[in-house]
Amino acid sequence: MITNPRVNYYESSEGFTLEIFPSRLAKFIYREGDYEMVVYAEMLAGKNPFVIYIDDEIKQWKPPHDAEPITEVKRKQILENIRKVFRFDGFEIDVI
């Protein structure tokens, strides 16, 4: 279950949060417990509000976990979690 306790901040009962800083080059802060990463997305005009360039963006945790590799399975899970937040608000995101 996803909740939206404040503007642009989402919490999931699955253990992750997403904070969105919208702009032409939007910044998302994705967290799982004490793991955190910044994901950038380009804002689009049209039906889908953002595009994420997965190979460039979902690749590394912030310190102190930056030395831990992110597997392809984990990258897909993070992307799916971000998609869940947007679907909660009735949107899809593009992924390239």
User: What's the rounded mean pLDDT across residues 3-28?
Assistant: 95
pLDDT single digits (tens) 21-37: 988 889 999 999 999 99
Categorize the per-residue pLDDT at 94 as very low, low, confident or very high, splitting at 50, 70 and 90: confident
Which distant-in-sequence residues (6+ apart) come within 8 Å of 53 by Cβ? 42, 96
Burial of 73 (0-12, 13-18, 19+ CB in 10 A): exposed
pTM exceeds 0.75 for this model = yes
User: What's the rounded mean pLDDT across residues 72-90?
Assistant: 94
Q: How many domains are contained in the chain?
A: 1
| Structural domain range at position 8 | 2-95
